[in-house]
Structure 1
């Protein structure tokens, strides 16, 4: 989030619920936030509670239904702060009535708040960003009801679901409008939560009892998602992030886990001394070992994601156990480094709970699979990497020596059922079972379906679909038999979702196979959700063009020069997305994360 520090964000509906949580998180990350809402007194109370944080909240009364008030707000931002860099379209309303029984005023209000105000806000924000030629970000708070799912008829919401379908289309339409400009620096994301405990549910009869019996998200979970998408590198655009509550609200089990925050500046503290920082009453110590400094929290009774550590709370920082030795850098510089890392992981669960756990990653010898395996090992996970090319796995293993986790290379052709099953048997025998499965292995072919052969069809389906189904079945059986928290991550593709396939880039059965992955992920999610004691989550990550060797392997013409002329992601971007979904709180299930390179137009 460093590049957004000092920048200006506009958040609509910022007085309560999701909007207030987003505003708070952004201010704590150093952003200057203009909060818009009708209830000025609530905004002012929130602003007062955030005094002393790195950023600032500017409360401004605004009814987004009234065009002139919304336009005046953007004029004020331009006059007072220079313009907007981040827009979070959060304001939304619904009504607990069936469409066939609701009135026109209700229809009009829902459309004006949920769709029209969003369109106006986007237009004004994009104009501000373009006029100053700055990097910008627009985030639309959507809903799972804005996608292909059946609204629950026992909880009618009038035209709320249709309005959210409009938000889905609005987001993608604007993305494409921006993508045609090769100089575009503006990104746009739809975040689609499931049931969130906010005031918008107040009209539902017996709502308190409902929240006692069904899984739900908290507003801060959505704020965490926003920090993630804003924190992606400039070339990466998360276009859709869908979040459901997990079927079971798991208890935190992080006691006695040591949280470490790395210090980037080796000279932040004098070597061979023990410095301490006190933050929100919690003591952090700097212990030097072989020239590598880290801050280690004393007390380890809460994970870092639960602590609201703010830079202004740091006190008594200049104490040192080394008599006569002074900290070389000023406290403000030390605090800056510490705050940077706290903000990065604040309000979301870090990877601590997966340290020492067992992950299986298919297709781990190169590309996305290798990047994911490397990131997991560096996070302390014990990773079993499966691939046909054992020598590449062994080379990757050697490069990761000395990291917190370990990579175990195992030769496996996932097309061969017996090899895949043997791999899971080996994991059980050696480690007790699997806790994380990353279904990454995938192949393609640069031929049209009407020109390709049966062996190619079979190969794509066996690797991309059948092997995934087998591995998912085996992993879930392992997780359930040990009654452990588990996570399945399916590496999908944007071509596994409705859109226009690029006619200049045929891929045989690859697209149908990825549609099958989309359906499989949702089917398994629903199968797991039927069990109230379920602890297993499943996620589809759907990247756009990613620079990997699948292009060469698919016999694409001019493969070596393929990525020179088109926007693309790096494998590390997908690994970062994987760490995000694994690191989300265990009540949060990211069901779909769609990620494109900024500027990608055709799928």
Structure 2
């Protein structure tokens, strides 16, 4: 983790077991002063603190008893933090609960309890943490909201719980907008895990049902979530995501295809993968000579992998098929497919040119679908069951801003990512799929789309993401252990408002 966090103060709510305990341990081992709060489980936090002390961990864990459903106890906790440590730099809203309480027959007191912990406790802790950051002049703080897949889809049997997590999703985005309006560099991140093997599942569903569900799959572990949090916390200040990882050894010598590899994000990804020892096929059309130049540069640097340049116009299926035939002949087939090629035109829905719309569909949608299909075919032929498909998406695949047609193509990428995940699961495949959705990245993209003058003016408005930020996030997802699928990464410049 970045040195700037050593000695800084983090609050972790619900720190006695599961995800909260894993996060607290991870941060202490990275040298942070961690306030671990729990109610009935405070003695468990004390035991973890003693264990870390015996291991000579560089940071410290300070236990505090606090029921986050009671505002007076939260305020007392923050007063104690201010007195002992000067205030909070990082707030991790991990405490949460679920109760089996259907909408048609649930008890009002159960619903109220869920709201008090999952929504109000989180909101009060966030407000007080931000207040302490402001009073200390901290402008690089970080708020984490531990959400759930239930914050993005309604899971059967627990609709009220999912409703609280949907609200956490809205609160996260709402806070991001408030912080940007104040021109604050404080960041907010929501982490939404699927099934994690903790006590939470058995509390929510009962021991028998929990064991039945968890026995059907290799579940996430609390450390997986803690690692994702450290990943986001480590990101450079201008970026609401990013990490520099040493990639898992299992990828050394494996084959990756990167489309649109001549400049920008594609070139950064190709370089990064080669530097980690992969054999990378970098495809481009008019820019293929740039890929060749990058290949020579990497060769001169004695990079452990290699970059093989291929000329391919991804709007033409026959050229895509010829490229995959060449990959099969030279390298045996693809293990990782990075669908990076994309383009946009400034063409409104009311007056745009049909050929521009068609061109965007050919590149952003059809080429991505064809490259994905052919990659999966080559994986199947060779018995590869740990491959990875990446779709370079956009924040425009999650909200409409600017060109409606371009956003429409990216919304389709979002849908295709989830659709492929479902297809792979139905086949019981362990191949993973990840969508990476950056906000404003300083590349040639906006200049091509808007023209040089307008493009440069757009980039001058803020400190933009860099191509390497996106490449590092891809490495993060590729590095994750095989049982852990990082499905969606949404990242923006800290200063971006939309």
What TM-score comes out, normalization by structure 2 length?
0.95
Cα offset, 1:535, TM superposition = 2.0
Corresponding residue of 1:75: 79
Cα offset, 1:209, TM superposition = 2.7
Q: Is residue 106 of structure 1 aligned with residue 110 of structure 2?
A: yes
Report Cα offsets for 1:61-114 as digits up to 9, x if no partner: 111011111111111111110110111000000012322221011001100000
Instruction: Report 1:289-438 matches (<5 A).
Output: 350-388=247-285, 389-401=287-299, 402-438=302-338
Q: 1:491 aligns with which of 372, 392, 395?
A: 392
SS of equivalent to 1:590: coil
Corresponding residue of 2:15: 14
SS of equivalent to 1:385: strand
Q: Is residue 526 of structure 1 aligned with residue 422 of structure 2?
A: yes
- The structure with the larger Rg is 1
Q: Distance in 1 between matches of 2:339 and 2:244?
A: 27
Corresponding residue of 1:572: 468
Corresponding residue of 1:509: 405
Q: Is residue 66 of structure 1 aligned with residue 70 of structure 2?
A: yes
Corresponding residue of 2:52: 50
SS of equivalent to 1:57: strand
Report Cα offsets for 1:148-177 as digits up to 9, x if no partner: x2412xxx2251100000000000000000
Q: Retained in 2: the 8 A contact 1:96–1:158?
A: no
Cα offset, 1:451, TM superposition = 1.7
Q: Retained in 2: the 8 A contact 1:34–1:58?
A: yes
Q: Retained in 2: the 8 A contact 1:89–1:139?
A: yes
SS of equivalent to 2:330: helix
Cα offset, 1:559, TM superposition = 2.2
Q: Distance in 1 between matches of 2:344 and 2:394?
A: 12
Q: Which moved more, 1:17-26 or 1:387-396?
A: 387-396
Cα offset, 1:185, TM superposition = 2.1
Cα offset, 1:446, TM superposition = 1.8
Q: Is residue 208 of structure 1 aligned with residue 103 of structure 2?
A: no
Q: Distance in 2 between matches of 1:566 and 1:218?
A: 37
Distance 1:228 1:526, change over 3 A: same
Cα offset, 1:566, TM superposition = 2.9
Distance 1:558 1:443, change over 3 A: same
Q: Retained in 2: the 8 A contact 1:567–1:597?
A: yes
Cα offset, 1:198, TM superposition = 1.1
Q: Is residue 146 of structure 1 aligned with residue 151 of structure 2?
A: yes
Q: Which moved more, 1:440-449 or 1:516-525?
A: 440-449
Cα offset, 1:344, TM superposition = 7.5
Report Cα offsets for 1:372-422 as digits up to 9, x if no partner: 101111111110001111111111111111101111011111001111111
SS of equivalent to 1:36: strand
Cα offset, 1:358, TM superposition = 0.2
Q: Distance in 2 between matches of 1:172 and 1:559?
A: 26
Corresponding residue of 1:477: 377
Cα offset, 1:531, TM superposition = 2.1
What TM-score comes out, normalization by structure 1 length?
0.79
Task: Give runs of ≥4 in structure 1 deviating > 6 Å.
Answer: none
Q: Distance in 2 between matches of 1:185 and 1:595?
A: 14
Cα offset, 1:181, TM superposition = 2.2
Corresponding residue of 1:322: none
Q: Is residue 593 of structure 1 aligned with residue 489 of structure 2?
A: yes
Which one has the bigger strand percentage? 1
SS of equivalent to 2:476: helix
Cα offset, 1:428, TM superposition = 0.8
Q: Retained in 1: the 8 A contact 2:11–2:37?
A: yes
SS of equivalent to 1:159: helix
Instruction: Report 1:123-272 matches (<5 A).
Output: 123-134=127-138, 135-147=140-152, 149-152=153-156, 156-157=157-158, 159-182=160-183, 184-203=184-203, 204-205=205-206, 206=208, 207-238=210-241
Report Cα offsets for 1:284-313 as digits up to 9, x if no partner: xxxxxxxxxxxxxxxxxxxxxxxxxxxxxx
Q: Distance in 2 between matches of 1:344 and 1:112?
A: 37
Report Cα offsets for 1:239-288 as digits up to 9, x if no partner: 9xxxxxxxxxxxxxxxxxxxxxxxxxxxxxxxxxxxxxxxxxxxxxxxxx
Q: Retained in 2: the 8 A contact 1:94–1:158?
A: no
Corresponding residue of 1:254: none
SS of equivalent to 2:78: helix
SS of equivalent to 2:192: strand
Q: 2:441 aligns with which of 522, 529, 546?
A: 546
Q: Retained in 1: the 8 A contact 2:33–2:60?
A: yes
Cα offset, 1:129, TM superposition = 1.2
Q: Distance in 1 between matches of 2:319 and 2:180?
A: 44
Q: Retained in 1: the 8 A contact 2:244–2:476?
A: no
